[in-house]
Amino acid sequence: MRPFFVTVGILAWLWAFAVMWIFAENGGALTVIAAGVFAVVAIVALACERIMKLLEEIQQRLPPRRPRAAPLRSVPREPVPARDPLPELRTDRPATAP
């Protein structure tokens, strides 16, 4: 049943765009109404598909999928030895001549 609703939803969107494209030159309220009807059918069909998917998940007792953040990077287990960022600027060592 879900593939039926998906197919109806996609075809309804295509028909709505086709009606607008074909009758765009004439304009008029009937063109907008026809395209609007197809768009409403598409929205209802795709909403029904989502409801059926939710009901299937409830029936299978699957927990709903929640978006999850990326896992945090782990901290290295061994401490990284500190290094002197500017060894040439330290005054505790004698300066070397170039």
Mean of pLDDT values over 59-75 = 71
User: How many structural domains is the chain composed of?
Assistant: 1
Number of residues written out for the chain: 98
- Is there a domain that residue 26 lies in? yes
- Is there a domain that residue 32 lies in? yes
pTM score of the predicted model: 0.51
Full domain range(s) for residue 33: 1-37
At 2-46, the pLDDT tens digits run: 788 888 888 888 888 888 788 777 777 777 788 888 888 888 888
Task: State the Cα–Cα distance between residues 38 and 43, nearest whole angstrom.
Answer: 9
- Count CA atoms within 13 Å of residue 19 on its CB side: 18
- Answer whether 24's CB lies under 8 Å from 75's CB: no
- Is there a domain that residue 29 lies in? yes
- Answer whether 35's CB lies under 8 Å from 20's CB: yes
